[in-house]
Amino acid sequence: MKWQLQRPARSDVRLVLVYWLLAAPIILYSYSRQYASGVALAGIAYTIVLDSAAVYLLVYGFLPLALRRQHAGLLLLGLLGFVLVDAHGYWLGYHLVFGQPLRWSVLSLLGAVISHTQSYGMLGILLAAKRYFDVQQHLLLTQKAQAESELRNLKAQIDPHFLFNNLNVLRGLIQQDPLEADAYLGRFANLYRFLIRHQDDDFVPLPDELRFVDEYIYLLRHRFGVAYEFVQELPAPAGLASLLVVPGTLQLLVENAVKHNAGDDAAPLRVTIAVVGQMLRVANPRRPKRTAVDSLGTGLANLRERYRLLTGQEILVADSAAEFAVTVPLVALAHPRTPHPQAIPQTQASC
């Protein structure tokens, strides 16, 4: 890779112009106290050109090369050449402009390096700091765009996942009871309408999600009867109105419980939906079906990734021989709405 000087951004050029608009009068005043006005003007012009050139080489040439940690030999030679040329430019230029004595020596060359570094140091620090800030901003925007792209991909997986599973249920009902299948289809349409309405939302109010899962449980009861029991352990409705959840969370967790565990009319499988503080927990006893269920784990992995991207928190999965439980974080709403009195099931109510 060849060493190339980067082009300054327009904002970088504006920063340099503002810097010289502020610094040039101060430096000019200092020169005018020692030299005639014409000499002072020539001196400030040479200072602006020399300092700007030095900062440009350092910030747009050597700094990117140093950050890449490549071409160490080229970087060392380039810096050595820069120091020598810069010192001679400062030394010879101010000799011609101000008539300073021209006595070449190692000490005079070192003094020129130190003096010029002090001259352009502030501009170099400002421009380097701005470049660092711009890089960080670009990195944050890139990460944000990547996260948004991942979320769009994850959301796109929800509808096919939900549709596929419920069409399988509907197919079975059509064969067994067409009238029940028709009722199921109507409820299913309502559920799918909810998903479409919130397909672009990162979060929905928890009361809305609870109503959504109640509709889904209704469909499950039509298929399985009382083989599965769904219990909600919730605080007062006012405490739920200020909480948000990722859309479809409860439906997916309830679906997993039914999909992987056997229910029985005599001993129903108890699925508990509980809210404790700002955590939502869905748990059920482990009762694996006799016939293994084909599952890629896509739904739970999808949910885990969405919570990671949206909240920066992980969902907790507790999988033991006796119980399977998933706990997800809830997000507090800044300005909670007042829920309808009948919108949310009462504490400990069975669905």
- Report the alpha-carbon distance of residue 205 to residue 211 in Å, rounded: 10
Residue 170 lies in a domain: no
* Residue 66 within any structural domain of the chain: yes
Query: DSSP label at 186?
Result: H
Taking residues 158-178, report their average pLDDT.
Answer: 71
What's the full length of the chain, in residues?
351
Closest C-alpha to 224, from 279, 161, 180, 284: 180
Q: Which residue has the tokens 């439980």?
A: 325
| Domain limit, last residue, from 139, 163, 193 | 139
Query: pLDDT at residue 285 above 50?
Result: yes
pLDDT band per the 50, 70, 90 thresholds, residue 129: confident
pLDDT at 88 over 80: no
CA-CA distances (angstroms) from residue 146 to 262, 308, 312? Answer: 40, 13, 15
How many other CB atoms are found less than 10 A from the CB of residue 255?
19
Same domain for 132 and 44? yes
Contact 302, 158 (CB under 8 A): yes
The answer to whether position 115 is within a domain reads yes
Inside any domain, residue 184:
no
How do residues 292-344 score in pLDDT, each as one tens digit?
666 656 778 888 888 888 888 889 999 999 999 999 999 987 654 544 433 33
CATH code at 233? Answer: 3.30.565.10
CB 293 within 8 A of CB 252: no
Residue 191 CB: number of other CB atoms within 10 A?
19
Question: Are 196 and 226 a contacting pair, CB within 8 Å?
Answer: no
For the ranges 5-14, 24-33, 341-350, the lowest mean pLDDT is seen at 341-350
Helical (H) or strand (E) element with 192: helix 178-197
What is the span of the domain harbouring residue 81? Answer: 10-139
Report the SS3 class of residue 92: helix
Query: Would the pLDDT of 191 be above 60?
Result: yes
Domain stops at, among 139, 172, 192: 139
Q: Of all residues in the chain, what percent carry a pLDDT higher than 70?
A: 80
Establish if 42 belongs to a structural domain.
yes
Between 283 and 350, the more confident residue is 283
Q: What is the C-alpha separation between 37 and 42, in angstroms, rounded?
A: 9
Global pTM reads 0.52
The reply to whether 171 falls in a domain is no
pLDDT of residue 344: 35
Token pair 């009195």: residue = 341
- Give kind and range of the element (H or E) at residue 87: helix 72-98
The pLDDT of residue 318:
93
| pLDDT tens digit sequence for 217-275 | 887 887 788 999 999 999 887 778 889 998 888 988 998 898 889 998 899 999 999 99
**Assigned domain for 240 exists:** yes
* Structure confidence at residue 31 as a pLDDT band (50, 70, 90): confident
Do 230 and 342 sit in the same domain of this protein?
Answer: yes
What's residue 339's pLDDT? Answer: 44
Among 124, 139, 154, give the residue marking a domain's end: 139
3-state class of 153 per DSSP?
helix
Q: How far apart are CA 1 and CA 143, in angstroms?
A: 26
Please give the structure tokens belonging to residue 32: 């005018």
Question: Are 220 and 319 members of one domain?
Answer: yes
Average of pLDDT values for 143-167? 57
Summary mean pLDDT of the chain: 78
DSSP 8-class letter at 61: I
